[in-house]
Structure 1
Amino acid sequence: MRNPTPFIQKMDQAGIMPIFFNPNETICLKLLEAAYEGGIRVIEMVNRGKEAPSIFPALRKMADQMPGLSLGIGTIYHTWEAEIFLDMGTEFIVAPVMNPKLGEYCQKTETPWIPGCGTVSEVFFAQELGAELVKIYPANVLTPEFVKAVHAVLPKVEIIPTGGVEPTAESIKTWFDAGVLCVGMGSQLFKKELIAKRAFTEIKETIADALAIIEAIKN
């Protein structure tokens, strides 16, 4: 860890931050349950549907019964969106972009903020605004080489790649070898066909396997 604050320690221990959303509240709850049972301790629900604000409180209620689990909200662009979900109990904010106003708001409210960055300059400005962890997105476009380039000039910043990271030893090891703190995964963990079949046990097993890969890499 380059920046061992409590939030960074939590993310380091988590290894994976799953990213999910479904317009059906029951399915969202089942996905949260499967992720937790698979070993996940940090998870991000994305704000990508009109149903998200009404579903999040139910997830918050379930998460409160899951010791050690941190629940955050993603796909947040503006301060007013962050305020809505902070009132509902989100523990951290994830953004697909680097919006300075959102960063200032999160800094003021002492809320962990993970902005999406695609250039070294964006990473620098995010760090200046108090971001302890930045998301490089889309990771499949930026590649692990971008992580190395960032750390060459900003050695203390922590990075999580999302978008294109696969739950395989080859993919995950490439990112950790480049120096990321943890990885974010969405559809690779929560496959549409498994959700359609309500195959939550298979989803749990996919997650557990991915976490086992990370544990082996770290050790």
Structure 2
Amino acid sequence: MTFPLSRLVEAAKAAPIVPVLVVEEVAHAAPLAKALEDGGLTIAEVTLRTPAGLAVIEAMKTAAPGLQVGAGTVLNAADVKGSLDAGADFLVSPGMSPGLLSALGDNRRLMIPGVVTPSEAMARHEEGFDLLKLFPASIAGGVPALKAFAGPLPHLRFMPTGGIGAKDAGDYLALPNVLAVGGSWIATGEDVLHGNWANISVKARDALRLAKV
């Protein structure tokens, strides 16, 4: 059976930095997608924290078909349906609940659920999730926690997010159980609001260099 997130895994091999985006206006979606691609990035996570989130996903997919665009802050059945209808390549949630698990149905392997503890990680793996998110990474143990997880849980892979920046992204990516890292520093809300597309591309290239990709 084909791994549903195989394209995401391949994209992460090329560029394991995932900008976590909060976009207020759909008009910003296309230039933002192109700026990220120009910076060498292959994956983006658009959070559903604004009313424009779903339309932004659809517009980014249209502007940059080669970019893996996921939906973040997926919390309920409406978010799942809306994200998939918008063409999201993957789904991300800060955690997991019985209601969200039920809403995912056959799409659960597209989800990257947040975990903090080994028990949560084990439970999510038993439920069929192939990739997990340590969240919020900076206060959930960060690099030392993921190193500790690797001993008893070597079969699990992570995309840590939350409090990660340019200075420590490389430390996370040096771990064998980390596929990619997510962060908001590459395309901040201010960057997007003011259309600082060139600056976003520069920060993307710098991040990949720091990550030694």
Q: Deviation per CA, 1:27-64, whole angstroms, max 9, x where unpaired?
A: 23222211111111111111001222333322232233
Cα distance change of structure 1 residues 28 and 112 upon mapping to structure 2, 3 Å threshold: same
CA–CA separation in structure 2 for the residues paired with 1:184 and 1:11: 11
CA–CA separation in structure 2 for the residues paired with 1:131 and 1:47: 21
2:199 aligned residue: 202
Measured after TM superposition, the shift of residue 203 of structure 1 is: 1.1
CA–CA separation in structure 2 for the residues paired with 1:144 and 1:123: 16
Farther off after superposition, 194-203 or 41-50: 194-203
Identical positions, percent: 26
1:32 aligned residue: 33
1:120 aligned residue: 118
CA–CA separation in structure 2 for the residues paired with 1:9 and 1:205: 23
User: Normalized against structure 2, the TM-score is what?
Assistant: 0.87
User: Normalized against structure 1, the TM-score is what?
Assistant: 0.84
1:166 aligned residue: 165
CA–CA separation in structure 2 for the residues paired with 1:129 and 1:100: 11
Gapped regions of structure 1 (runs ≥ 5): none
1:211 aligned residue: 208
Q: How does 1:1-219 map to 2 (within 5 A)?
A: 6=6, 7-64=8-65, 67=66, 69-103=67-101, 105-106=103-104, 108-109=106-107, 111-142=109-140, 143-168=142-167, 171-179=168-176, 180-186=178-184, 188-214=185-211, 216=212
Measured after TM superposition, the shift of residue 102 of structure 1 is: 3.1
Measured after TM superposition, the shift of residue 118 of structure 1 is: 1.1
Cα distance change of structure 1 residues 11 and 53 upon mapping to structure 2, 3 Å threshold: same
CA–CA separation in structure 2 for the residues paired with 1:196 and 1:40: 20
Q: Which amino acid aligns with 1:113?
A: M
CA–CA separation in structure 2 for the residues paired with 1:85 and 1:202: 28
CA–CA separation in structure 2 for the residues paired with 1:114 and 1:12: 17
Measured after TM superposition, the shift of residue 209 of structure 1 is: 1.1
Gapped regions of structure 2 (runs ≥ 5): none
Cα distance change of structure 1 residues 98 and 12 upon mapping to structure 2, 3 Å threshold: farther
> Do the aligned residues in 2 keep the contact of 1:104 with 1:129 (CA within 8 Å)?
no
Q: Deviation per CA, 1:101-144, whole angstroms, max 9, x where unpaired?
A: 43455461364210011111111111112211111111110221
Residue correspondences, number: 207
